[in-house]
């Protein structure tokens, strides 16, 4: 029995070297596969890094071009600013004119809303005088009885509405001018003097109403003028036209610029005592 086991041991010993050799071959093959996959991964990573480097270089070039463009734009803006600051008075004046136009346009829209009924019926007229002023005209029958200078209740109410809008326009005056027509006043009518006196009295009445009424316009912003019949807007050849000419005009204008007072020339300085003494010595 011992002899039967000996041949089997001998055969196992004979196969052992070959098994070891096969294992080594298998291991070496697996290592090659792993090595090949590692090399492929490294090559892929290297390609990715090269691509990222190229993209970074392109981005850097783009940023440099953007920086150059921004520097150029900044220089242009600085030059423009230097040119603008060389004319501060003109720029300030242009800005103020624009502000005044906006204020008058706002007043025009507000007056259109406040006096919608009167404008529609033809008892009021509203228009802009170029870019310099805003003109509101109110018919005589809207404010006064014929030949009278006292406001009617309706006239007082209309001026309250219009005055509230005009008072809100900063930096502007309100010039009030009253007009009549050329027809002589009938002797039996109770009038207040001549057409000159009537128109002047009506202008003063409107100014007083704007100052003392709800609007509370400052006196320095108001002026009153009577023109009698000498500034008609249409020929006075019909009752309708004569009614159109009998009106009160409220002109909204910017405040005139203040004129600086002339500078007082300085008085010559008194001579110093030492200088006076030297002059006396020279005379001797």
From first to last of the 284 residues of the chain, give the pLDDT tens digit.
555 556 666 665 665 665 665 656 555 555 555 556 677 777 777 777 777 767 766 766 666 666 556 556 555 655 655 555 555 677 778 888 888 999 999 999 999 999 999 999 999 999 999 888 999 999 999 999 999 999 999 999 999 999 999 999 999 999 999 999 887 665 555 556 789 999 999 999 999 999 999 999 999 999 999 999 999 999 989 999 999 999 999 999 999 864 444 445 555 544 444 444 444 444 43
Tell the CATH topology of 92-254. 60s Ribosomal Protein L30; Chain: A; (3.30.1330)
Q: Are 158 and 209 a contacting pair, CB within 8 Å?
A: no
DSSP calls for the chain? -HHHHHHHHHHHHHHHHHHHHHHHHHHHHHHHHHHHHHHHHHHHHHHHHHHHHHHHHHHHHHHHHHHHHHHHHHHHHHHHHHHHHT-HHHHHHHHHHHHHHHHHHHHHHHHHHHTHHHHHHTSEEEEEETTTEEEEEEEHHHHB-TT--SBPHHHHHHHHHHHHHHHTSTTEEEEEEEE--SSPPPTTS---SSHHHHHHHHHHHHHHHHHHSTT---GGGEEEEE-TTSS-SS-S-SHHHHHHHSEEEEEEEEPPPPPPPPPPPPPPPPPPHHHHHHHHHHH-
Look at residue 129 in the predicted model and tell me its pLDDT: 92
In whole angstroms, give the CA distance from residue 226 to residue 193: 13
Residue-wise pLDDT for 232-272, tens only, equals: 999 989 999 999 999 999 999 999 864 444 445 555 544 44
In whole angstroms, give the CA distance from residue 106 to residue 94: 19
Look at residue 47 in the predicted model and tell me its pLDDT: 79
Residue spans of the domains in the chain: they are: 20-81, 92-254
Look at residue 96 in the predicted model and tell me its pLDDT: 84
Residue carrying structure tokens 């029995």: 1
Look at residue 30 in the predicted model and tell me its pLDDT: 56
């Amino acid at each position: 029995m011992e002899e039967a086991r000996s041949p089997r041991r001998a055969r196992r010993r004979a196969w052992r070297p070959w098994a070891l050799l096969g294992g080594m071959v298998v291991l070496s093959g697996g290592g090659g596969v792993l090595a090949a996959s590692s090399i492929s991964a490294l090559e892929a990573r290297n390609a990715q890094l090269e691509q990222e480097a190229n993209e970074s270089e392109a981005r850097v070039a783009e940023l440099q071009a953007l920086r150059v463009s921004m520097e150029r734009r900044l220089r242009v803006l600085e030059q423009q600013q230097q040119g603008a600051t060389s004319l501060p008075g003109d720029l300030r004046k242009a800005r103020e004119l624009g502000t005044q136009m906006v204020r008058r346009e706002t007043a025009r829209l507000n007056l259109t809303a406040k006096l919608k009924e009167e404008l529609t019926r033809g008892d009021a007229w509203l228009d802009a005088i170029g870019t310099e002023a805003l003109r509101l005209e109110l018919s005589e029958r809207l404010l006064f009885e014929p030949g009278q200078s006292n406001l009617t209740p309706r006239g007082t109410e209309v001026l309250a509405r219009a005055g509230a809008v005009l008072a809100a326009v900063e930096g502007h005056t309100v010039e009030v001018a009253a007009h009549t027509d050329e027809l002589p006043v009938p002797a039996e009518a109770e009038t207040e003097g001549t057409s000159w006196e009537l128109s002047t009295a009506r202008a003063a009445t409107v100014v007083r109403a704007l100052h003392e009424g709800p609007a509370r316009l400052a006196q320095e912003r108001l002026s009153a003028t009577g023109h009698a019949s000498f500034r008609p807007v249409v020929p006075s050849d019909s009752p309708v036209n004569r009614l159109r000419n009998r009106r009160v005009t409220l002109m909204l204008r910017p405040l005139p610029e203040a004129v600086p007072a002339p500078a007082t020339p300085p008085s010559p300085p008194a001579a110093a005592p030492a200088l006076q003494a030297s002059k006396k010595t020279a005379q001797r």
